Each structure stands twice: as C-alpha cells, then as structure tokens.
Chains A and B, each alone.
Chain A
Amino acid sequence: MSRRPRRARSERGASGWGQLTAVVIGGAASWGAVALGELSVGALDPALSPADAGPQGDDVAEQALVGVDDARTVASYSLEASLDPHAHVITAHGSMVLTNFTSQPLDHVYLHLYMNAFEHDRTVFRRRSGQGMRGDDGVSVDGFVDVESLTWREARSGELLPEHAHTPGDPEDRTDVRVALPRAIAPGERATFDVRFRTQLPPIVLRAGYAGSFNMVAQWFPKLAKLEEDGHFAHFPYERFGEFYSDYGDYDVTIQVPEGFEVGATGALVSDDRSGDRRTLRFSARAIGDFAFAAWDGFAEATRDAHGVAIRCLFPRGQEGAAAIQLDAAAAGLAFYNRELGPYPYTHLTIVHPPPDAQEAGGMEYPTLFTTGEPPFVGLLPLRPRTLELVTLHELGHQWFYGILGSNENQHPFLDEGLTSYVTERALTEIYGEGGLLPGLPFAVSLAELERAAQLGAHSRAPVAARVSDFPTGGDYTRLVYSRAATIMRSLDGAYDGAGRRAVARFARAHRFGHPGPEDLLRAVREVAGEDAEKQLRTALFERGSVDFVVTAIDNSRDGERVRRDVTLERRGALELPVVVALHGQGGRVERVSWDGKGSSTTLTTYGDEPLVAAVIDPERALPLDESRANDAFNLAPRALAPRTLLLAAFASTLVVHAVLP
C-alpha cells in the first residue's frame, strides 16, 4: 500500500513525469473481448524472454521461472456477489476450496473476516490510531461481514462458524476466527466450504469502503488464513498498519451491479451480461491471493496493450489526462519490472483511479489490480509533481512484492513495502530521471534522497524487520518499512557493487508464487555479494544497525621531497560498510582511496607532491545509510560565500516582497 505520500500522493506519481499519448476512452466492449486466461512465462513478449539477461547475470535469467501454470493453488474461491451500490452492501454466496498440501491433518481452519474491523470502536484496528500512517482516525464503525452460513460440503457438516466466534484471545475483535471441523482434512484432501455472507462497507477508510456511489470492495469476503508448510495457519487480526498474507488460488467471481455502473476487478473479464436494469460481470484469475473490485457510475475507461498485458484504467470522467499518465507509467513500469524482477505472469492489469472524495481508496495493491489517485490540487500546480506516476509505479511494483512473491505482509512488511519502495525509486529514476519526481526545480531532488531523509534516525525506534504490531507509531512504520528498507538496499548497491539490485532480482525470480521470508532475501544477498554483505544486511534489518562516517582531521607534513597527508576517519554505528574517500589536493587533483569500514576509526596516509585541502567520504553518495552527510567532508580552506544560494533566495524573496509590499 502506498503511504503517505499519497497525501503527497505518494502513491502516485507522476511520476509520471512523463507523459502521455493516446487515450482510449470507453471501450468496454473491447475490454470484454479480451482473451481470457493467464500466460505462462514463455508466452510473454519476446523482449522479456530469458534472452534478457536481467540485472544480475545469466545464472538467474536462465532459471526456469515459475508461471501461473506451475503455481501451487491452495485456496480457491468461486463466489457470486450482488452489490447494492447505494446501500453499500454485498450479498454473496459461493464456495472456498482448501487443499491440504501439508503432511498434517487439519482439524480446524482460520477465517479472516476483515470487514469486522469496522463493526465497533474496540476492534484491534480501531484501538490503534494512525499516528503518522494514512487513514482517518475517525473511522466509521458501520462496516461488517455477516457470515450467514458456512458448511463443509464433503463432510455434509452443519453450520461451522461458532455463534460468538472472535479473534483468539481478544473477544472484542472478530476479524480472525477459528473454525473447528467435524473431522480433520487429511493430507492431500480438498475441502469445499460453502459460504453465504453479507458485507456492509464502511465509509471509505484506508483501503476499502464507499464514498457516494463509489464502492471500493476489498477485504470483503471470508478468507481462509494462509496454510503453512508445517500445517499451522498464519492468522492474525486486521491491524491498522498491517496488510495481508494469503495462499494462491484460482478465483471465479461473478458480480452483479445496477446498469450504469462500471466495474474494475481482479483478473480477466470472462463475461458481461446486461439484462434489464442489472449488469452481471464474471471475472476469473488463476494463481492469485486476493480479489477486490471497484464499482462506480462515474467511471470512464482507457486501455492500452503493453508488453503482452492488457492494461485498463478506470478513472473519474474528465480526468483523461490523469488516465493517460497512469497508462504511460504502467507501460513503462512493466518494461522495467519485467526486466528487473522477472516477467509479469498475468494477461491483465486494472488501474482504478478513485474519485476525489475517495482518496483513501487510492494507493493500494491487489492482484492484477491497483488503485491510484492524487489530491485534486496537484493537477493545478504549475510545476506538477509526478506523484501520479509515482503511485502507479509503486503499486505496480507490488504486483511482484506481495502479488507474485506472496510474502507475509503482517509478519515482515518490509519485504513488500520496503522492496517495492526500493524498486520504485529505481524505476522512477530510470523512466523520468533523477529529479523526475519534482520536475522544474533548479536542481534535481530524487525520490531516493527523499526516502533517505525520511528515515534518518528511525532505526532508534524499532528494527526494520519487525512485525506490524511492533512499530510504536504509524510514522515509525512508514519510515522504517518503506524508507529505511529501501535505503538499506540502496546502500548495499553502493557498498557491494550493485548487490541490492542483483540480490532483489535473484530473490524475485527464485520465489515466484512462493512465500519467501527475510532469510530468502539474505540468502540472495549472500549469493551475489558474499557473507559480509549478508551480515551487514542482517544487522541493518534485524538489529537496528546504523552507520555514520566522519572526517575528523587532515594533516599535511613534509617527508623529504614529498608531502605526507594523513586523513583521519571515524565510523560510528554497528554497520561496517566499505566506503570510498576523495582526497582533494591543493592544485585541484582528486584521488580516491578506499576504506573497508572495519574498526571505529582509521588514518589514511598518502604521499604526494601537494598537500591536501579537503577530504570527502563517499563522494558519490553511494551509501545513503550514512546517518549524516554534513560531517562527511573536511576542508582546510572553506568558502565563505554561497552566491548561488544568495541569488536564488534573494530572487524568490523579492518576488514575495513584490507581491506583498505596496
């Protein structure tokens, strides 16, 4: 999920700083005609075939990548839902099929009933305020999911859901309930649960809900908790900061809405029947972990085919320009992520741009669907930040880190948000340039540096690799999980010759449709950059490791005909990262030397014809984890003036003075 920025809309971006081309409006018919089914890897754009070596070398590129045909489907759903878009109620029934792939018999299952987070103000979700995380603290309490019936077909069971089911250990919360079974599901057995339920959406909050006739229908159906290899279920209540964790499965969902409503949903549209005043749409997807849809009678539509994927953008009428930006960003992003992370394995991608009064629904990812949006004023700014492009690239990145890789977002949120932020920075820079986020400024402000600034000092609050409930505040969560995790990976790049990039590429390819954890990422780093790199990453992620390099002194002395130059450096913090130091001679010559970062201090001694006047640690700013750059340089002859700053500030001030004074 995109964060704050969304306010700053982050989650979007314009990143787009780039822009558009043709927009195709309307086109529901052509959308409906799109072929169904998902592609396996080999069927994708030839440009994305293994011939593309990817960033980390042939060894990874030549791996047989897992496609949807190879994914292990554990929890599949077939649902028929009817949405009353004005009462914001979904009435649904259908079946859930759980395959017990473990070697253990299962005498119970866990169900997530996420929408119950909004049934009163004492739920786990409601008991915690946002505190710096997106989401209105004044959350409405009129959302719920009422499971009217739950039975096990093969066992011909009666009603399975206990009348007063609640989250284990928390009677006030009903988002995570245990369902005892009349008999165990044997290893290898498939159990079909028939379910009938009614979901009431709340006014939009964080990810789901309604605003007017716009309905963002997410976390709306009873969902089986993730079955782990050892036979236990990874279950947890719906927490404000946390997201989800699911098994892969096949989804077949039929949605009925009033005529006049457009629907954007996970998967591919199989059929679209209009009968009287009702419209019935059927969506299907294979090897996905969740299903969400948006319905609104104010949507317009634009489509684009890119890299073998049919991209569809639903957006508020009148915002064709914004839709074009998103389609451009998504097309460019697909090319980038396909190359860096392995090919997008589905044939469809849906972008939902919510209306202005439903911004809380924006910046969220679901399989083959994500939401975007930006505050209306952004489009009015003379120098428009590329926030719409940013959120598009970020949410698109989630199609890998959460979608295709399926990590546990509750237990290890950095694996999806952190890695997504990291690849988003790189995608944004590659597509729009270093200063692409804020074009038009006299100097480039990079997203990566904004992330770096945001996370400064955050390591003192909690480890990056913490579960969602362990972060003291929402602000800590976003700074550590999004910004610091991305900054750590970028520092690996700088310290170990692109290790972050190579490791993430390897990690993403090796665990497609798997459910990797932090150890898998560490292993990938070890494989591409060695044990020391892995050790530093572990320290940074799990032990609040930090680093601050300082130049403390320069000493020049005569040694015969030559000058002996001593530069004293310090390293503070637990991270021992190798670093480059630039030595500036009196005559303008610059030499570069390296320090392995071991030990808390060192003196670099060199000999030359001229004395040194300055020394700069990490002159290329390759180690953004360095806590302070202000102490990275030492100069024996500092400049007294900053004329450019004077001109810039004076001109800006004079403009203000001109506007204010008579």
Chain B
Amino acid sequence: MSGAGVRARLKPALGAIALGLVIRVACGLAVGSGPSRWAAHVTRGFPEGERALFEHGAGLLLELLQRRQLELRLLPTAPIVALLGGAMALVSFGALVASLERPTSLPSALVRAGRRIGSLVLTSGLGALTLSLVGLLEVMALAAALGAASTRVVLAAGCAALLPLAAVACLVDVLRAAAVLAPDGGAAPFRVAFGVARRELPSLTLSYLAAVFVELLAALLGAIVVASLLFGSTLAAAGAALAALVALVIMALARAWFLAAVVKRIENVVLHRPTNLSYVSAPPSADLPR
C-alpha cells in the first residue's frame, strides 16, 4: 500500500486509533496505580519519598521483594482490569477495523463493532489459544536446544521460530478483522480469513513483522528514554512521560497500518475489489460471501 493509500485509510480511523490508545493507557494506569500506591505506602517514612526504594543500590526495594511485603491489598485486581480492558479493547479493535474499511463516525464504528462482539470474542479466544500453543511449543523446542547448541545457533533458531509465530499471529488478526467485516457470524469470518490467508498470508506476514519491528523499536527506545529520565529532576520525569506517550502513539499507528493492510486484502482478495490504492467504499452487504 502506498503512503497515500495508507494515509487515506488511516485518516478516517484516527478516532478509533486514539480510542484504542486511550484504552491501553487506561489499562496501564489502572495496573500501575497499584504499585504506585504501594510505593507511596512503604516509603511514607522517608523524606525522599519513593526515591528511597531505588537509591543506594535499590536496597529497600530488594528487601521488600525478598520479604514479599507487597501489600497485596494495595495491588490492583489484575483479572478485573484484564477482563474490562480486554472487552473494551476488542470493541475498539472492531471500531478500528470498521473505520479502516469505510469512513464513518466513531460512534457508528463502535456500534458496528459492538454488534460483532460475539464473533470477536470467539475469534480472539481461538486466536489466543492457538498462539499460546504455538508459542509454547516453540519455547519448549528452543529450551531443549539451549543446553546443547551454541548461542549463535539458538539465536538463529529463535529468529526462525518467529516466522511461524508471526504467520499465526497475522492469521489471527485477519480472522478478527473478518469477524467485523463479514456480514454474518458463524463460519463466515473463517471463510474470509482463510480465503485471504490462502493467497496473501506471506505478504501479510511480512507486513506484520514490519509492524511488530516498528512497535518493538518504539517500545525499546521509549523504555530507554523513560529509564534514563525518570529518576532525574521533575522536568526530566515530565520528559519521560512525554517519551512514553510518543512511543505508545507510534506503536498504535504501526498496528493500525498493519490492520489497514489486512482490511485491504480482505477487500481485494475476498470481495474481489479493484486493487487501486485509494480508499474504496464498501459494497453492499449482499456482495459479501456467505
């Protein structure tokens, strides 16, 4: 997809992209608030506040971890956050896919995604299960190789193992996108997804890897900047917050770029759309495969 094509698809979807980002950040804050309250609590006696945890070789932090003094009541109920966050993220994912497929208002896209929540949950669940199994098998194989192989061989094997994992992850995203775009529930998303996979999986996997590379790079650079600034002055800490936000925005855009490619493949391959690179409005649902 050309740059113009990408922009054409992403521009109407900015609202959905922002929503996804907000949901992720909200989930992160919900999870992070627990450690934050815990840190304030355990360092309440120290004039330097939370810095006491990390100064002098992080001795106080290590002591508390060693004693398992984590004050669990102050920690967030992670399962609830995961459940709520997951549900909201699914809806925002659906809204993003819908927005990438045709220009629409965010509420309309949310409504469309909401109607597909059942299919989204089903395909996401199956996808997560499949990914976990594939990932587990690959980790086990790599772990078995660790004992006997050289670091170079293990590194090469690890890189090679990423390909099938990326292909499966890519297929899962295609399936979820199809769950939103296919007119019916039931088997329709699977037919659409496998139709795309049959003809476009290699190129989509490459797109997926490219997006993941950008996301990892942004995350790594963001983490480095955050780490180097966070425990400096207040101004530096504010810079760390800004760097974190920028990294997250880049990651969200990279993911949206990949989903735009997925939506385009679904249109072009399954719906037999013309392959021009500009945005094409969706056909009536009667044209969709059943």
Which A residues fall within an 8 A CB radius of B?
A: 316-319, 356-357, 375-377, 379-380, 382, 434-435, 440-446, 448-450, 452-454, 456-457, 551, 584, 613-614, 616, 620-621, 624, 628-635, 638-655, 657-658, 661-662
Contact = CB atoms under 8 A, between A and B. Distances in A.
A379 B57 contact: no
B149 interface: yes
Contact of B56 (A318, A620, A642, A654): A620
Nearest to A650: B32
Contacts of B149: 356, 376
Given A380-B151, A650-B29, A640 B40 contact: yes
Interface string B150-192: 1110110010000000000000010010000000000000000
Given A646-B33, A647-B230, 19 more contacts: A357-B148, A441-B227, A446-B56, A452-B62, A453-B59, A613-B47, A616-B45, A630-B64, A642-B36, A642-B49, A644-B230, A645-B36, A646-B29, A646-B36, A650-B32, A653-B31, A657-B89, A658-B251, A662-B120
Interface stretch (B65-73, B196-204, B280-288): B65-73
A653 B23 CA distance: 12
Nearest to B145: A376
A624 B59 contact: yes
A317 B152 CA distance: 11
Contact of A443 (B29, B47, B54, B120): B54
B49 A452 contact: no
B46 to A, nearest CB: 4
B39 interface: yes
B40 A448 contact: no
Interface in B78-109: 85-86, 89-90, 93
B146 interface: yes
A662 B16 CA distance: 13
A356 B148 contact: yes
A380 B85 contact: no
B30 to A, nearest CB: 8
Contact of B219 (A376, A450, A613, A655): A655
Contacts of A435: 57
B240 A661 contact: no
Contacts of A639: 40, 43-44, 49-50
Contacts of B57: 434-435, 444-446, 448-449, 621
Contact of B46 (A357, A454, A616, A640): A616
B124 interface: yes
Contacts of A448: 57
B67 A449 contact: no
B220 interface: yes
B62 A630 contact: no
A435 B58 CA distance: 9
Nearest to B87: A661
A646 B32 contact: yes
A645 B231 contact: no
A379 B151 contact: yes
Contact of A635 (B39, B46, B69, B226): B46
21 contacts: A379-B151, A435-B57, A441-B227, A442-B227, A442-B230, A442-B231, A445-B62, A453-B62, A456-B66, A633-B47, A642-B43, A644-B51, A645-B40, A646-B36, A647-B240, A647-B241, A650-B31, A651-B248, A658-B215, A658-B248, A661-B90
Nearest to A429: B57
Given A645-B35, A649-B36, A629 B59 contact: yes
Interface-centre pick from A450, A620, A642, A646 (highest chain B CB count, 10 A): A642
Given A357-B147, A453-B59, A644-B50, A649 B65 contact: no
A38 to B, nearest CB: 36
Contacts of A452: 59, 62-63
A614 B47 contact: yes
B32 A629 contact: no
Contacts of A375: 146
A651 B85 CA distance: 15
A291 B173 CA distance: 61
A649 B31 contact: yes
A662 B89 contact: yes
B102 to A, nearest CB: 20
B63 A661 contact: no
B261 interface: no
Given A635-B46, A661-B89, A654 B25 contact: yes
